[in-house]
Amino acid sequence: MSIRMLLAGLAFGQTLGFKTQVPLFESCAASPLLPDSQLACSKPTILTSGGSPALDNLAGNRTAKPPKKDIWRSDEGWQGPHSCAGAYCAYSRPSFANGRGIVLVSTAYNAEEASHLAAFAKESIKGEGDSELFRVVEMPGKGLGVIANQHIRRGQRIMAHPPAVVVHRRFVDDIDLENQYRLLDVAAGKLPRDTRKAFMAQMGQSREHQSTGHKVHDIMHTNSFELGLGIRDGHHFGNYPEVSRYNHDCRPNVAFYIDDSDMRHYTHAIKDIQPGEELTISYVDSLSSRAVRQDRAQRNWGFGCTCQQCSLSEAFIRSSDQRLGKMWQIEQQMSHWNGAKVDEEMIEELISLYRQEQLDQSHGSDAFRLAALNYNSLGMEKEALEYARLAKEQFLLEKGPRAKQVQDMRDLLRDPKEHYSWRQRV
């Protein structure tokens, strides 16, 4: 489910009006990444006792804590702050990912914490993408798209890339548009040349689609994904230029997840893909009705979806929406041990509905897991093991090997009778 991308689009799209002017500190915020002697000036900032209480409150109490200077002084790979708007500053690390570089727009305290993440300690981290596997071409009515050059088997990795720009979630809520534009321009300008070129080549929305009309802001709005940095205040958005080439389909043939431990965005084929076939991901929640999918695509990305599923006749759409609604009802019943009666017929109906909707290979992980857990709760070990294997395989594609659901299914596969779900409904 591409809820990460949906939330990112919603957040950047919400900031459409000017707010009260926020005081600016051009390269004056106390840096978690540089010694005091390298700061451009020494005005009191939000991180010192002379800072502004109003600014302290902008991003929560955590931003008022002083950075651990004895730790960050030793980290010479980071540069900045290059410029600030209120509590948020732009920091860069040009050496990241073998010179790909990265820019972080966040609070000083967050930047200090993030600078010690394992992902940033691995300068050798790199992007992956086999140029012989696919090509990027102009797609009629869509802009650029990704086309398979050869047969791609289900489960095969297509791309794995780190972000180029990372922006804190509250930046778009706390800072007025004019200063968002200014700081985002600074951030994009600090990317290494090739990365900046790839970043700026991404498409943003046009004015008629309620775009802000500012290129960098539009790019972030249109192409960002939720990213957890693994720190206490880790809610950020990441922009991945290569991933932006995937077009949308409500029944995609590629699944994605972001591994927060290395920040890379992974895409894998979820079905066999033939040469010449377009590679697509879903920008929206494909389990929603067509009306909801269309509304979200229009509001957040400025297009009305014309994928094969959305182009079905009205009669087929009504049937599809009814199946989606039934799937939701069954999942609610199967998600609680003390709810309505669950039996083999109900479990198989859920799986059948997913397959009729062609969602089992792209979004089937939760359905397979529910089937495994409920069969196990009925004491039906053989069926539980069958669906646990399917669920684990699907979760690896949809959420990655670190997902807690993967471990849950491994536990069930190892010993169904020792799993917490065993005979819960008997």
Q: Can you tell me whether residue 266 is helix, strand or coil?
A: strand
Q: What is the pLDDT along the chain (426 residues), one digit of tens a residue?
A: 444 454 455 445 443 332 222 222 222 222 222 223 332 333 322 222 233 332 233 233 334 344 444 334 335 588 989 999 999 999 999 989 888 999 999 999 888 888 888 777 666 676 777 778 999 998 887 778 999 999 999 999 999 999 999 999 999 889 999 999 999 999 999 999 999 999 999 887 644 434 556 899 989 988 889 888 878 887 899 999 999 899 888 889 999 999 888 889 999 999 999 999 999 998 888 888 888 888 787 777 777 788 888 888 999 989 999 999 999 999 999 988 876 789 999 999 999 999 999 999 889 999 999 999 999 999 999 999 999 999 999 999 999 999 999 999 999 999 999 999 999 998
Backbone torsion region of residue 404, taken as left when φ is above 0, otherwise alpha when ψ lies between -120 and 50, otherwise beta = alpha
Cα gap 257→31, rounded to integer Å: 32
Residue 118: per-residue pLDDT: 77
Number of neighbours of residue 110 by Cβ within 10 angstroms: 28
Q: What is the CA radius of gyration of the chain?
A: 23
What is the model's pLDDT at position 52? 30
Given this model, what pLDDT does residue 299 score? Answer: 74
Residue recorded with tokens 């849950």: 408
User: Which residue is associated with the tokens 């400025």?
Assistant: 302
Q: 134-139 and 143-148: which strand pairing?
A: antiparallel
Euclidean distance between CA atoms 261 and 400, whole angstroms: 11
- CB atoms under 10 Å from CB of 257, counted, come to 21
Whether residue 81 has a cis bond before it, omega within 30° of 0: yes
- Kindly tell me the sign of the dihedral angle through the C-alpha atoms of 255, 259, 265, 266: negative
3-state secondary structure of 286: coil
Neighbours of 131 (CB within 10 A): 8
| Distance set, CA 242 to CA 6, 127, 133, 358 (Å) | 18, 9, 14, 27
Length of the chain: 426
Copy the structure tokens of residue 273. 């893909």
Amino acid at the residue 198: A
Cα–Cα distance for residue pair 150/275, rounded to 1 Å: 4
Output DSSP code: residue 152: B
Pairwise CA distance, residues 33 & 111, whole Å: 8
Complete DSSP assignment for 325-344: HHHHHHHHHHT-TTSS---H
**Distance set, CA 192 to CA 187, 250, 277, 406 (Å):** 11, 35, 33, 37
What is residue 30's predicted lDDT score, i.e. its pLDDT?
25
421 conformational bin, left if phi > 0, alpha if psi -120 to 50, beta if neither: alpha
Q: Report the pLDDT value the prediction gives residue 76, as an integer from 0 to 100.
A: 57
Kindly report the pTM of this predicted structure.
0.79
